[in-house]
Amino acid sequence: MWLLTLYRSTVGKKAIMAVTGLLLVVFVIGHMAGNLQVFVGAARMNGYAAFLKSTGELLWVVRLGLLAAVLLHILMALQLTRIKAAARPVDYQKRQPQVSTVASRTMRWGGVLLLVFIVFHLLHFTTGTIFPWASAPDALHPEFSHTDVYGNVMSAFHTPWVVLFYVVAMLFLLLHLFHGAWSSVRTLGLTTPSRQPMKRHVATVVALVVWLGFTAVPVAVFFGVIR
Amino acid sequence: MPLSLDSRMPAGPLADKWDKHRFDMKLVNPANKRKYTVLVVGSGLAGASAAASFSEMGYNVRCYCYQDSPRRAHSIAAQGGINAAKNYQNDGDSIQRLFYDTINGGDFRAREANVYRLAQISVRIIDQCVAQGVPFAREYGGLLANRSFGGAQVSRTFYARGQTGQQLLLGAYQALEKEIAKGGVTMYPRAEMLDLIVVNGRARGIVVRDETTGTIEPHLADAVVLATGGYGNVFYLSTNAKGCNTTAIWRSYKRGAAFANPCYTQIHPTCIPVAGEHQSKLTLMSESLRNDGRVWVPKRTDDIAKAPGSIAESDRDYFLERKYPSFGNLSPRDIASRAAKEVCDEGRGVGPGGRGVYLDFADAINRLGENKIRERYGNLFEMYERITDENPYRVPMRIYPAVHYTMGGLWVDYNLMSTIPGLHVAGEANFSDHGANRLGASALMQGLADGYFVLPNTIGDYLASNKLDPVPVDAPEVRAAVADVQARTNRLLSIKGKRTVASFHRELGKIMWEYCGMARDAAGLSKAIELIPRLREEFWAGVNVPGSGSDLNQTLEYAGRVADFLELGELMCRDALHRNESAGGHFRTEYQTPDGEALRNDDEFAYVAAWEYGGEGAAPILNREPLVFENIKLSQRSYK
Amino acid sequence: MNMKLRVWRQSSPDAKGALKEYAATDVSPDMSFLEMLDELNERLMEQGEVAIAFDHDCREGICGSCGVMINGVAHGPMKGTATCQLHMRSFKDGDTIVIEPWRAAAFPVVKDLVVNRGAFDRIIQAGGYVSVATGAAKDANSIPVPKEDSDAAMDAAACIGCGACVAACPNGSASLFTAAKVSHLGLLPQGQPERYRRALKMVAQMDLESFGGCTLFGECMEACPKEISIDFISRMNRDFLVGAATAPMERGGGED
């Protein structure tokens, strides 16, 4: 069974990471595009949210698909990290990286941070669970509504540490995409030979656009550009 | 009793000898092949190709190399190319012409039948290597590219950038690994053969030291193949890898194998000159550079320190073009080397110590453009710059001759078997096909011919023609050989003297280069024959080998090799002294034409000098195998 | 020039090693790095000490024997250069140079700076060849190879098997080495019949030898003395994936 062949080898594991990663990149781009409707106004944003909800089962199929992608992505990352640790039991006393990017070197811990962020973000915006936990005077969400997404956004990004957390997390997403969007395509062997194989124009644009799009919302709300 | 030097040359017309011989040889029944064990010592072009081919045929093979992997054998460093009489260029090449060029280039000191067979086989080697996936250079039409190479007037050299040896070796190595995976070959890396086991007059095994554990063990077999390369490191500085050594063939010599023409050493004209005392080895710049580079020195000694660019065209002496108008910069290696030595002896050499001549690409760059030159020689130019810190696109390279190849080696018959039955010798380790001088791009050809096509045919004949009873591990001959190696190893470790192994090696190298190098004379050689035994005594009294014999001890390995060089050096000098003529790589200053060319003496010296070990402290015994030329008229080489 | 060396000394595979300090004096800028170690060893031996063990042979950058970590960089500071071709002019008077062996589970230390790279041979054994026996070949020019393919194959075939790619990889991956051989043969017509099977088997062996996985740090390409491109890793992955998808259903994919 060829999936088993994949699962058993490091190249296959990386291919699974790459495919799930690319799915998540597509999702992230769509999510970001959806978010930007905040700048159009409450009606547009809430209308979009209502439309997504109206898809019913389809929405759940997508959600479960994303969940599976995330879980596989993490599972493969964990296994590859274990393999890596076993591959060099005694480390160098001195090591000087030459060309590896900060992005490539922060994939693992940056990925963990992104996982923490995703959990927080789901509790924050999808379920609204964080709302009761923070119902103190400086509550995150004075009132969480399952229908007024626009209102949720407006009220969410007035707390400085929340905005900071989102901004920092998106910086890690930028790095994760800068390496991941590029390397996943190479991992799948979908590249043509190049004189400068470390160059990555498409991945750079994707990473920057996603980062800008996502960061714009909390920052704009915080500084009152939209209200 | 003189040795029997029966070359077993088949009768009949030259072109039919090999075919006829193959038919006459006995075959081993396919079902019986796996019952025979063959040991192959060395994993270079000859060794790896032989081991892989034997295993493909069904023999049980064991292969040994001193490096950590068979892929590292020094064949890998050959840059320029491999000759084959394919005549793909339609420029008049043929088997006959390659045969003639090789005999002529070797100054008529090789066997006709062997060389003809080599030329015949050359064609199949290229086929074999291409089938293995060797990425030879190609034309846009997808067919193989050729170039002309050192001393040839036809384009018959196949090449893979400047890394032909590497690619051919990787082809043979891949075939070897394929057979290892199938179980036909057992590979012993980091293993050094330290003696030959001879039982009832036949080679039946070797004594091997495992370099990582120090274990010394006998390995027994039905036949032994030595493919252990040349002995150029006797000169200390050479283009050989640091580990190249004579131990396997020297130990075999001491067990009764004749050593043929030890004095024939090739000095390669295009090497990077010595930079200082610390120099540990010399680096070759491929001879292909002479296709586009022009060799010169200043006409006047006053100009040697000047920047080369500031020396006017009229003040330059393009000495190869001047002395050899028709071959010019492409004159054979021995001739180009000697010419460089001469101009340096006249005080016109350039660079540190005045031991260098310019190899100038300015004209070629003007004519073809820098890009074309980069395409042809880019990696060589980079290597030159890394070593010398000078940019050869701007300033001419400096080159000087260095020891590169040894045409001499163990004497073998037409079947590549030495004077010890069962002991076969292939590649640079034997003396066979190059006579007194090897032409460029012929070593790779010979190594692969021996390994892929000659030995696989001839070894079967030996195995099928002889009754080979199993040798018990505790046979007295086996125990004695192991004990000898043990004793020698212990002795090296126990001297605990004051001097390092390298210091002895350097001193030997200086003696050899001075008296047995590019130009030799009777007085110098006699002096060397006095100096070397003295140095040998000092070595055994005063060498320091720290560490133990029971783990990886590179100093101990080195000491054993230098001890053998200290004996071989003397034999080389004796051979050079006895050969009262000049031929190819052996140039005796007493024997030259009025214009300074090598002067052969065919009446007295048209023979192979096969030296037989005379015993400890006794002089070696000279045996002669006359060379008969039936198809080629002996003439004086002329490259004018 | 004078330098301070900190060299990894380890007397045997199982012994505990440590960095030991030595002074390298009167170093000439024209010396190669290994000649500098030679001179140090000569001095150590004159004092009766055991020489520092390091692998080396051709000293012209082609046999792949040599290779050490120099100040945390595989083969040292000069790009596209094996340790033997690195010259001391790349260093300054007074520098401290840390010298360590390649570090990988698949490359156990034998002694001091010498490691066992037998894993590379076993990866080749798994399929790094064209299955053609001696004598079976037809005329060389009966297989035309487009020059571009031949050149690309040569780029990959230039690998010297030194192990710097593994040493430099933060994951300890042998992907560049394996990819170079998979690509060299996979780019040529002669290598086509076994192309996908070869990729499957060589990758499987690479994993078996406990090398790490590739996450495209790019350090291998930078460390490679032959500057072999990570493009070949893409190529290997593609061949592997195609092979996995098309191989007959077998455990592990691609066994006989």
Closest CA to B632 of B152, B100, B102: B100
Which residue in C211, C221, C252 is closest to A5 by CB distance? C252
Q: Closest chain C residue to A182 measured between Cα atoms?
A: C216
C200 inside 8 A of chain A by CB: yes
Q: Is C73 helix (H, G, I), strand (E, B) or coil?
A: strand
- Cβ of A193 within 8 Å of Cβ of C152? The answer is yes
Residues linked to residue B284 through DSSP beta bridges, in sequence order:
B271
C26: which chain B residues are within 8 Å (Cβ-Cβ)? none
Reported as a single tens digit per residue, the pLDDT across B380-429 is 898 899 999 999 999 999 999 999 999 999 999 999 999 999 999 999 99
Q: Give the 3-state secondary structure of residue C183.
A: helix
Contact B543, B497 (CB under 8 A): yes
The C-alpha atoms of residue A151 and residue A142 are separated, in whole angstroms, by 10
Q: Is A196 on the interface with C (CB under 8 A)?
A: no
- Please give the helix or strand (H or E) that residue B568 lies within, else none: helix B554-578
Q: Distance of CA B106 to CAs A121, B10, B147, B235, Å?
A: 82, 22, 21, 22
Beta bridge partner(s), residue B41: B64, B226
CA distances from A143 to A44, A148, B103, B338 (A): 20, 10, 100, 97
Closest residue by Cα to residue A166 from A218, A203, A106, A102 = A218
Report CA-CA distances (Å) from C143 to B397, B452, C187. Answer: 38, 21, 13
Query: In B, residues 329-358, which contact C (CB 8 Å cutoff)?
Result: none
Report domain extents, chain C.
Answer: 3-111, 117-246
B477 CB-near residues (< 8 Å, 6+ apart): B197, B198, B199, B204, B471
Q: pLDDT-based confidence at C249, cuts 50/70/90?
A: low
Give the pair of three-digit tokens for residue A33: 């595009």
Q: Give the mean pLDDT of B254-260.
A: 98
**B554-578 and B501-516 helices cross at what angle (nearest 10)?**
20
Which of C38, C63, C134 comes nearest B53 by C-beta? C134
Q: Identify which has the larger pLDDT, C107 or A195.
A: C107
Q: List all chains that touch chain C, counting a touch as 3 or more CB pairs closer than 8 Å.
A: A, B
The answer to whether B536 faces chain C, any CB pair under 8 Å, is no
Check if the beta carbon of residue B294 is closer than 8 Å to that of residue B153: no
CB of B309 closer than 8 Å to CB of B289: no
What Rg value do the Cα atoms of chain A yield, rounded? 20
Q: Is A91 in contact with C240 (Cβ distance < 8 A)?
A: no
Would you state the pLDDT for residue A131? Answer: 63
Residue in B with minimal Cα distance to C40: B278
H or E stretch at B267: strand B265-271
**Partner-chain contact C144 B132, CB within 8 Å:** no
Q: Which whole-number Å values give the CA distances from C199 to A15, B507, C181, C234, in the listed order? A: 15, 51, 9, 12
Residue to substitute from C9, C173, C206, C234, interface A, most A β-carbons within 10 A: C234
Q: Is B363 helix (H, G, I), strand (E, B) or coil?
A: helix
Q: Which of residues 84-143 of C touch A (CB under 8 A)?
A: 98, 100, 103-106
- What pLDDT was estimated at residue A56? 87
Q: Is chain B touching chain A, with at least 3 CB–CB pairs below 8 Å?
A: no
User: In sequence order, which residues have a C-beta less than 8 Å from that of residue A102 and are 6 or more positions away?
Assistant: A175
Q: Is C83 helix (H, G, I), strand (E, B) or coil?
A: helix
CA distances, C216 to each of A18, A77, C183, C204 (Å): 12, 14, 17, 19
pLDDT at B558: 98
Task: Give the helix/strand (H/E) hosting B623.
Answer: strand B621-626
Contact B76 C133 (CB under 8 A): no
Collect all residues of chain C within an 8 Å Cβ-Cβ radius of residue B180. Answer: 121, 125
Q: Residue A135 has what pLDDT?
A: 47
Q: CB contact, 8 Å: C32 with chain A?
A: no
DSSP H or E run through B317: strand B316-317
Kindly identify which residue of chain C lies nearest to residue A107, measuring between CA atoms. C215
Looking at the DSSP assignment, which residues form a beta bridge with residue B402?
A: B268
3-state SS track over chain A: CHHHHHHHCHHHHHHHHHHHHHHHHHHHHHHHHHHHHHHCCHHHHHHHHHHHHHCCHHHHHHHHHHHHHHHHHHHHHHHHHHHHHHHCCCCCCCCCCCCCCHHHHCHHHHHHHHHHHHHHHHHHHHCCCHHHHCCCCCCCCCCCCCCCHHHHHHHHCCCHHHHHHHHHHHHHHHHHHHHHHHHHHHHCCCCCCCCCCCCCHHHHHHHHHHHHHHHHHHHHHHCCCCC
Whether the CB of B126 is below 8 Å from some CB of chain C: the reply is yes
* Contact status of C235 with chain A (Cβ, < 8 Å): yes
Q: What is the mean pLDDT of residues B456-476?
A: 97
Q: Does C221 touch chain A (CB under 8 A)?
A: yes
| Residue B208: strand pairing partners | B193, B217
Please count the residues of chain B.
Answer: 640
Element (H or E) spanning B513, and its range? helix B501-516
Pair of tokens at residue C58:
């051709």
Q: At what angle do helices B554-578 and B522-542 cross, to 10 degrees?
A: 160
Can you give the residue ranges of every domain in chain B?
Answer: 267-401, 483-626
- Measured in angstroms, the CA of A69 and the nearest CA of chain C are apart by 19
Is the model's pLDDT at C20 over the cut of 50? Answer: yes
Helix (H) or strand (E) holding B446: helix B443-448
Q: Is B630 helix (H, G, I), strand (E, B) or coil?
A: coil
CATH architecture type of domain B267-401: Alpha-Beta Complex (3.90)
- pLDDT band of B192, cuts 50, 70, 90: very high
Asked if residue B267 lies in contact with residue B228, where contact means CB atoms within 8 angstroms, the answer is no
- Tell me the per-residue pLDDT of B59-80, one tens digit each, with 9 for 90 and over: 999 999 999 999 999 999 998 8
CB pairs under 8 A between B and C: 222
pLDDT in tens, C194-223: 999 999 999 999 999 999 999 999 999 999
Query: A4, A5, A190: which to substitute to probe chain C, counting the most C Cβ within 10 Å?
Result: A5
Using CB atoms, which residue from A5, A87, A189 is nearest to C105?
Answer: A87
Residues B218 and B221: their CA atoms lie apart, in Å, by: 10
Query: Nearest CA to B86 among B37, B135, B29, B157?
Result: B157
Of B137, B143, B452, the CB nearest to C141: B143
Among A9, A87, A96, select the one facing C204 at the smallest CB separation.
A9
State percent of chain B over pLDDT 70.
99
DSSP code, position B208:
E
Given a cut of 50, is residue C230 above it in pLDDT? yes
> Range with the lowest mean pLDDT among A140-144, A184-188, B327-331, B469-473?
A140-144
Strands (E), C10-161: 18-24, 69-70, 73-74, 96-100, 109-111, 114-115
User: What is the token pair recorded at B250?
Assistant: 């020297």
Q: Is C68 on the interface with A (CB under 8 A)?
A: no
Band the pLDDT of A140: cuts 50, 70, 90: low
Cβ under 8 Å to C: B residues 146-175 = 160-161, 163, 166-167, 170, 173-175
- Per the model's pLDDT, the better-predicted residue between B264 and C251 turns out to be B264
Q: Do B70 and C121 touch (CB under 8 A)?
A: yes
Q: And the tokens for B367?
A: 């004519």
- Please name the residue that has the structure tokens 């996985």: C213
Contact A86, A13 (CB under 8 A): no
pLDDT of residue A158: 85
- How large is the average pLDDT for residues C158-163? 98
Determine the pLDDT at residue A198: 94
B130/C190 touch (CB, cutoff 8 Å), yes or no:
yes
In CATH, what number does B483-626 get?
A: 1.20.58.100
CA separation for the pair B554, B545 (Å, rounded):
10
Residue type, B449: A
Nearest chain A CA: its distance from C117 CA (Å)? 14
Q: With bands split at pLDDT 50, 70 and 90, how would you rate the model's confidence at A62?
A: very high
The per-residue pLDDT for B291 is 87
Give me the pLDDT at residue C254, please: 44
**Interchain proximity C234–A92, CB inside 8 Å:** no
CATH of domain A2-85+102-222: 1.20.1300
- Give the minimum alpha-carbon distance from C99 to chain B in angstroms, rounded to a whole number: 19
Q: Residues B117, B255, B333, B338: which is the catalytic one? A: B333
Would you call B330 exposed, middle or buried from its count of C-beta atoms within 10 A (0-12, 13-18, 19+)?
Answer: buried
d(CA A18, CA A14): 6
Name the CATH superfamily, with its identifier, for domain C3-111: Beta-grasp domain (3.10.20.30)
C-alpha to C-alpha distance for C33 and B432, rounded to whole angstroms? 38
- Residue spans of alpha helices (H) in B25-163: 30-33, 45-57, 95-105, 112-132
Whole-number percent of chain B with pLDDT over 90: 90
Between positions 381 and 410 of B, the ones with CB within 8 A of C are 382-383, 386-387, 389
Question: Could you confirm whether B72 is annotated as catalytic?
Answer: no
pLDDT at C251: 47
**Min distance C137 CA to chain A CA atoms (Å):** 31
Chain B residues with CB under 8 Å of C134 CB are 49, 52-53, 56, 128, 175, 452-453, 456
Find out whether B561 and B244 touch, Cβ atoms under 8 Å. no
Q: Rounded to whole angstroms, what are the CA distances from B485 to B206, B215, B216?
A: 11, 11, 8
Residue C252 has pLDDT above 60, yes or no: no
Strands B357-360, B397-406: pairing is: antiparallel
Q: Name which of B585, B283, B563 is nearest B431 in CA terms.
A: B585
Least CB–CB distance from C73: residue in A87, A96, A193: A96
Contact C130 B161 (CB under 8 A): no
Residues of chain C in contact with residue A190, where contact means CB-CB under 8 angstroms, are 234, 238
In words, the CATH class of domain C117-246 is mainly alpha
Query: Span C159-166, mean pLDDT?
Result: 98
**Letter for the amino acid at B621?**
I
Give C68-103 pLDDT, tens digit per residue: 999 999 999 999 999 999 999 999 999 999 999 999
d(CA B147, CA B157): 5
Q: Are the beta carbons of B137 and C144 separated by less than 8 Å? A: no
How far away is chain A from the Cα of C11, in angstroms, using its nearest Cα? 16
Q: Mean pLDDT for chain A?
A: 92
Chains that touch B (3 or more CB pairs under 8 A): C
> Which chain B residue shows the shortest CA-CA distance from C54?
B554
Closest residue in chain B to residue C118, using alpha carbons only: B69
pLDDT tens per residue, range C101-136: 999 999 999 999 999 999 999 999 999 999 999 998
Q: What is the mean pLDDT of residues A80-106?
A: 97
E strands present in chain C: 3-9, 18-24, 69-70, 73-74, 96-100, 109-111, 114-115
Q: Which residue of C has its CA nearest to A108?
A: C215
Name the burial class of residue A31, with classes exposed (0-12), middle (13-18) and buried (19+) by CB atoms within 10 angstroms of its CB: middle
Q: Would you state the torsion angle of the CA atoms of residues B440, B441, B447, B449, taken in this order, to the nearest 10 degrees?
A: -120
